[in-house]
Amino acid sequence: MVTMKRCAVLAAVGTSTLIANAHAIEFKFSGQVSRMIVAPDDALGSDLQHQDIGFSGSRFRITGEEELAGGYTVGFRLEQQLESNPSFAASGGNQTDGGNDDFIDNRYQDLYVKSAYGKLSMGKGDGAANGGTEADLSGTVLAANSNHQDNWGNYVIVAGATPEDNVTWDSIFVMNDGISRVNRLRYDTPSLNGFVISASLDQGNAYEIATTYNGNVGNNKISSALFYVNAQDFADDAEVIGLSASVLMENGLNATVAWSDRDNITSVGPDQTATTVKLGYKTGIHAITIDYGLGELGSTDADTVGLTYAAHFTKNIESFATIRQLDSDLANAESVDLAAVGARIRF
């Protein structure tokens, strides 16, 4: 006869055996905190802003990989972004401080398998062309990236009678690239002398194709991307083509360019283009750049010019200071002037 006490002992032994024999996948917890202080002057006012950096916000992630027989590796990425007063939602006159200014973004729920044949990803993650306008070796990408709307786009150039009537700078300037973090099936080829070709079939039958290159020509570093997006059956309802390229010479001089063109497929409305050029110099932990961006929405233009300094104290700690002006030829539009300092710490 098996007593209750004996059953408990057997259950405990069996559970311990299962735990001992279980093979848990190795995982890593990482993330970053990104913050900046902005002194803006736009059509709404000049309230001092304490912001999360829109281009690369505060977030945490869990990643893991497991090696299998035959040279295969399976892995996952789970990532959440948690921002307070993100810069893409703030203007010179809407400073808030409380729970209503928080922003939560479910960025990644991604599974993948990789081998000598390339990498196949499934779930929510980067479309093949995401980041296609962001090749940048200047060292100032956190504050002076080609997608200027991520950090500065919500500043108001024409104040309306109600908040809904305000016209923001990013209503004209948008640097488009791939469909950012979408449910998709994606394939990346193995790197061939620095070249990688990527393709993804996204939610709603949208698809993306991109080729990237990262390598050296002599002692000069080069990073580049070229892409095409067809989102006819997706919410964007557009075709996008674009590119970016950046070169960092041995002496520290560097140059970066990005360009995108968005054409409506079935919807009615003006097409959109954007261009950013940047020149800079890097030495030691220091980087300084001057950039110019021009966006066109139909016959309306918006431009920006910025001067940025960044210091990379370690691989995981950087800070910056920047001044910038945002302009538009839209009727009654006001110029936006701002200065900002910020930092990002990765862990």
User: Do the Cβ atoms of 254 and 282 come closer than 8 Å?
Assistant: yes
Q: Is residue 56 in a domain?
A: yes
* CB neighbour list of residue 34: distance below 8 Å, 6 or more residues apart: 52, 53, 56, 57, 58, 142, 342, 343, 344
In a domain, 288, yes or no: yes
Residue 259 has what pLDDT? 98
On whether residue 240 sits in a domain, the answer given is yes
This prediction's pTM: 0.87
> In this predicted model, what pLDDT tens digit does every residue of 306-334 receive, in sequence order?
999 999 999 999 999 999 999 999 999 99
Which CATH number is 283's domain given? 2.40.160.10
116: amino acid identity, one letter = A
Q: Find all residues with CB under 8 Å of 180, minimum gap 6, and list them.
A: 126, 127, 130
Contacts of 149 (CB under 8 A, 6+ apart): 88, 169, 170, 173, 174, 175
Residue 23: predicted pLDDT: 59
The residues, any chain, with a CB within 8 Å of residue 256's CB and separated by 6 or more, are 135, 136, 137, 138, 146, 244, 245, 246, 247, 276, 277, 278, 279, 280, 291
Burial class (CB in 10 A: 0-12, 13-18, 19+), 25: exposed
Per-residue model confidence as pLDDT tens digits over 27-67: 999 999 999 999 999 999 998 999 999 999 999 999 999 99
List the domain range (segments joined by +) for residue 105: 25-346
Query: How far, rounded to the nearest angstrom, does the alpha carbon of residue 320 sit from its chain's CA centroid?
Result: 18
Residue 120's DSSP bridge partners are: 113, 187
C-alpha count within 13 angstroms, C-beta hemisphere, residue 21: 6
- Residue 266 is predicted with a pLDDT of 75
- Quick check: is 202 in a domain? yes
The verdict on residue 64 lying in a domain is yes
CA distance 145 to 133: 9
**Element spanning 16, H or E:** helix 4-21
Give the separation between CA 292 and CA 217, rounded to whole angstroms.
26
Residue type, 176: N
Does the residue 9 lie in any domain? no
Looking at the structure of the chain, the number of domains it has is: 1
In a domain, 7, yes or no: no
Does residue 176 fall inside a structural domain? yes
Which segments in the chain show pLDDT lower than 70? 1-23, 94-101, 235
First-to-last alpha carbon distance for the chain, in angstroms, is: 56
Left (φ > 0), alpha (ψ -120 to 50) or beta: where does 333 sit? Answer: beta
